[in-house]
């Protein structure tokens, strides 16, 4: 079995559906843990989604030269950590990839 990277340069990018908390939480709820899908509580599901989506990943392919402008146009602030600072790293910046 191959398990894809959850963050870092080989993971999905900021424009992917999984970079939205509601999509990540839905996937996690239905598929994790692998040996007992659906066993996590709603709170655990959202906590895992927030943790994963708060990590660095490749730039959004719709990036227009400004993280703030890209966030405003494409990222719902209630559903995406893109353009926020987590652990001292601006997610979406070159340091955050």
| Per-residue pLDDT tens digits for 40-51 | 999 999 999 999
Count CB atoms within 10 A of the CB of residue 36: 8
The CA-atom distances, in angstroms, between 72 and each of 17, 43, 87 are 17, 27, 22
Provide the CB-side half-sphere exposure for 92 (13 A, CA).
24
For residue range 6-62, list pLDDT tens digits in order: 999 999 999 999 999 999 999 999 999 999 999 999 999 999 999 999 999 999 999
> What pTM, to 2 d.p., does this model score?
0.89
User: Within 13 Å, how many C-alpha atoms sit on residue 17's CB side?
Assistant: 5
Q: CA nearest 57: which of 2, 3, 23, 16? A: 16
């Amino acid at each position: 079995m191959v398990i894809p990277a959850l963050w870092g340069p080989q993971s999905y990018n900021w424009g992917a559906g999984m970079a939205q908390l509601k999509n990540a939480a839905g996937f996690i709820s239905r598929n994790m843990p692998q040996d007992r899908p659906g066993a996590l509580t709603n709170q655990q599901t959202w906590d895992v989604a927030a943790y994963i989506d708060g990590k660095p990943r490749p730039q959004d392919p719709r990036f227009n030269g400004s993280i703030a402008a890209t966030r405003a146009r494409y990222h719902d602030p209630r559903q995406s950590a893109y353009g926020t600072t987590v652990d001292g790293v601006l997610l979406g910046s070159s340091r955050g990839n």
